[in-house]
Amino acid sequence: MRHLHTLSDLGKDDLLALLDRADRFEQERGEDSSRPLAGKSVALVFEKASTRTRVSLELAVVELGGHPVVITGNGSQMGRGEPIADTARVLSRMVHVITFRTAGDERFLDMAKHSSVPVLNALTDTGHPLQLLADLQTVRRSLGKLEGLKYAWIGDGNNMAISWIEAAGLLGLELVLACPQGYQPAPEAVRAANAKGARVKVVTDPATAVRGADVVNTDVFTSMGQESEQEARLAAFAGYRLTQELLSTASRHHIVLHCLPAHRGEEIDADVLEGPHSVVWAEAESRLHTSKAALLWALERDG
Ligand code: CP
Ligand code: NVA
């Protein structure tokens, strides 16, 4: 059984093939009449809020001819304490793929362990692989390639940052992360990527990371589940906002990514988010094309 827990679970060849397929879905949108998910259903399980992930996965299933079933924590017996293991066994007797957004990795791994169908990570505290697929498709579409670019991550060493470090490991990318002390990504993640040939470095100075960067990426300073830390986080992340001034030393053709939702004036200024270098809306659309490719990957690798 192949689950997608982390981006690394794909491997480089499958990752690149999946991005090629997502490109074809983007080109064919509305014209492709094949229905590879006909007769199949997918459970989309959300224990945290979502706009993009929910809509893109639900539409991906429908446009591929399948049937999506959305389940939320509070709207199901999960919210009343039914164990993940029981939920996994029941769902996987009825559906062909499960996607799961939850907090700790233990919950994701519990779902995967007890499921007899593939489970895709739709965000946990330590990764957001489906978002990375969209980010990579967006970079390739915007700049024509993935390798040979300089990538900068500014802000929290969170789930998104960890998935970006994994992408660097898979593809041998140069990635500099600027994160305040106490909010840096796990050193093992950096070591693992560099052992595979990436050039990943963690610094505290955002200007160092941005200088000469082709791709500048950020995310919220307070992720879902961290609301009680908001005040401390806003203080720790002062100086890490993407501003025009900070970006003035990036490459002339740089692009700005943000997985969204964005907090204007916190991690990114409105004129950067809406500015000429921002590709965030195309990045959001890529969630649909890459979700289709990820669902087919899961079904083809099942077994
Ligand atoms: N980027 C992302 O995952 O957005 P949602 O939380 O809206 O799904
Ligand atoms: N880091 C953010 C990503 C939201 C898509 C969070 O976990 O809330």
* Residue 135 CB less than 6 A away from ligand 2: no
Q: What is the pLDDT of residue 249?
A: 98
| Nearest ligand to the CA atom of 99 | 1
Distance 39 CA to ligand 2 centre (A): 32
- Assess whether 23 carries a catalytic annotation: no
Q: Give the active site residue among 219, 258, 269, 289.
A: 219
Cβ contacts of residue 173 below 8 Å, gap of 6+? 146, 147, 149, 151, 167, 198, 199, 200
Q: What is the pLDDT of residue 98?
A: 98
Q: What is the pLDDT of residue 33?
A: 80
Q: What is the pLDDT of residue 6?
A: 98
Tell me the per-residue pLDDT of 211-232, one tens digit each, with 9 for 90 and over.
999 999 999 999 999 999 999 9
Strands 41-46 and 215-218: unpaired
Q: What is the pLDDT of residue 246?
A: 98
Distance 195 CA to ligand 1 centre (A): 30
Specify the residue with its C-alpha closest to ligand 2, atom 1.
223
**Residue 7 corresponds to which tokens in the numbers above?**
């981006």
Q: Which residues in the chain show pLDDT less than 70?
A: 303
- Assess whether 14 carries a catalytic annotation: no
Specify the residue with its C-alpha closest to ligand 2, atom 3.
223
Q: What is the pLDDT of residue 300?
A: 94
In this structure, the dihedral spanned by the alpha carbons of residues 134, 137, 141 and 145, taken in order and rounded to 10 degrees, is 140
Q: What is the largest CA-CA distance in the chain?
A: 54
* Residue 219 CB less than 6 A away from ligand 2: yes
Q: What is the pTM of this model?
A: 0.98
Distance 220 CA to ligand 2 centre (A): 7
- Assess whether 269 carries a catalytic annotation: no
Distance 118 CA to ligand 1 centre (A): 21
Of 54, 123, 283, best ligand 1 pocket probe by most atoms within 8 Å of the beta carbon: 123
Cβ contacts of residue 61 below 8 Å, gap of 6+? 37, 41, 42, 44, 67, 68, 295
Q: What is the pLDDT of residue 303?
A: 58
Q: What is the pLDDT of residue 177?
A: 99
- Assess whether 287 carries a catalytic annotation: yes
**Residue 149 corresponds to which tokens in the numbers above?**
């670019």
- Please state, in angstroms and as integers, the Cα–Cα distance from residue 203 to each residue in 6, 111, 200, following that order: 24, 35, 10
Distance CA 175, CA 161 (A): 10
